Structure 1
Amino acid sequence: MNERAALIQRLLAIISDYRAHDKLPPDVEHVEKWLSQFPEDSALNVLKELVGVLEKSYFSKSKVIAEFANLVENPHFVGHDPAQYWKTASLLDIQKGGNSQHDLNELISSKISEKFGVVPAVNSAGAPAYYYMDDMLCSGSRVFSDISSWIRDSAPTKCTLWVCIMVLHEYGYFITNKKLLEVIGQSGKQIKLDWGYSVKPEDRKYYNDVSDVLRPTTGSDDGLVKAYIEGMKFEPVYRVPGSTGKLQYFSSEAGRHLLEQQFLIKGAYIRSICPNLKTAHRPLGFSSLDTLGFGTMVVTYRNCPNNAPLALWVGDPWYPLFPRSTNADAALRRMFDDF
């Protein structure tokens, strides 16, 4: 087996359960079709670096279950009598878009029932503690929208609120925590806000040089990239080379630079061929800020965030490695699941 074939097998072993609930198992043909869109002299190295990154940043279903199985009996969250604790605590199912919270609630409910013989309440009207679960926070806009509405409209006058997110990007966490504390203050309610997480990728501008997301060290000679940068209101803030990030997702500066440049070039190209993308669909991922893109490299078995590089998930006419499930897809699946 040559190196390319061996790397594809490693990649498939990592992402084998991606959107398995939608019966979309990736195979060799799928990976080859995606990889063929990169220059031949770069494709192998793109594949090599991506495999190394995803070995650390991909959240398989088994990894997610293990993380939440730890939460249900961790004294930091539930004290020293978890069985009694879960008789009164409540999960929240208040997400306005997608199925991630609903699915994670089912996982954690089954674990609580299995361990303690208790079926936890969902959206209880008067619980002392509530748990908002989700797989990832990037900008934090969805989490803020969900929770701020709940605080104003449904939360009791006094409780503890745990926001438990597996992947908590630093800047989104900082902004969301600050804004939620303001909403709590304005509500006049006594709500203690606490957070739980598995990993915290660094994406704050101040820590750009040690970030865990794609932050190029330079622009590109590619014409479409040049045109995109020239159209930006401000010059991009480039990373000073030398770091593979706090979480060490990248193999080396050279490997990281290759991935950043290739995804930047392909992202600019994708924007030129996909007319339905919004302005905020930056080459390196969705961002409301006028940047080159969010650049997260974290993907879960359930979905690929649109904050990841466009080259990973955008479809038609580009061929995606991680085809995304939209909110409309999720609503349709939820409707059939309810029958």
Structure 2
Amino acid sequence: MEVPWRHVAAGFAMLRQGVRIRFPLGAAGAILLAARVAAAAPAQPSVELRYSAEDSVVGCHSEPTFRHAVRQRLPFDPFVAPPNSAPIVVTVRIDRSEPELRATITLTEPDGVAQATQELTEEHDGCATLSAAAALAVSLTIERSLVRAAERGNSTPAEGAPLRVVGAQAPTSQLLAPSPSGSPDNGQPPTPAVTSKRPPPGLPGSKRDVRNVIDVHTHAGGGIGLGILPAAAAGARAGATVELERWTAGVEAGAWLPAEASSPPGGGARARLVFLSGSVCGRHGRFFACGVASLGDLRAAGTEPLLSRSSGSTYVAFGGRAGLEVPLHHPFALVLYTGLIAPLVRTTLRIGDEMLWRAPLAGAELGTSIRITIL
């Protein structure tokens, strides 16, 4: 069968015309769809954090440490600024307000109007604790503010578009599903999807919150002891403590350097003490009081060549200690203390029948140490 050439040419012309028509329509549809999706996606507001502390207040978090403490309690990074977005400004200022330290947290919405101000207070030497509490408060403030911003931005959502809400009960995200009928115009409110009920990191009841409450310190220092050895003696000690709110528990090792006792006829003995101690302390502001128990080895030797035999005994004593902590530049603090220690068994030094020294009912100590916060 012979097909006329003009019919073939007309068919190719129609095909070319169809291609020219369909391609512009497809491109226009894709552009309109992209514009609709972009219009439906609300811009996530960013957060600008302004943190400062008065120069005379020591022990506070630095700005990077504070910013990290806020960020680690949130399931997202609020400080990443999307393009062309007005930030939510959170200002934190720590200063001294006799007789306490005060942290003032101010939230300013993107329109520039201050919406809320919150104040936290702590004792003079508790700036580290105050900084941690302020970081928790800031993280909660940021979550609430972003929830409000999301609600305002999503007041007229696109058809079928899920809404992303960040809240205290949904650490990752929370989706508002469309109505069962699938139509946004049927008058039915959206139904919340099922979300996890676990508390977000940093809220009370989580493991991260416990780590923020417990502090670990080390210390080293020296002092003078009276009535512990036959004469006034110098001593040194070092140890570690764990602090939970207003209570601390610690262990330390130390030694009292040799002290000498002599008798009128010329005989004498030299004694020294090596010990381990445990303590439990209560704190109120900068002041503290402790109960102390010590276990050690008290050893003495004669000072005369013919009477130089050494002997020793177990040293067990109980007592108390009170003192003052003076914060220096974080993480250092100066500790001044005094105490009484009573031996369970009173030690006696003798040369033959002659008594050189007998331990009193209680000995006294006066000392100082440098404390370092390591956690």
Range class of TM-score, shorter chain: under 0.3
Larger radius of gyration: 2
Query: Which has the larger helix fraction?
Result: 1
Q: How does the TM-score come out when normalised to structure 2?
A: 0.22
Instruction: Provide the TM-score with structure 1 as the length reference.
Output: 0.24
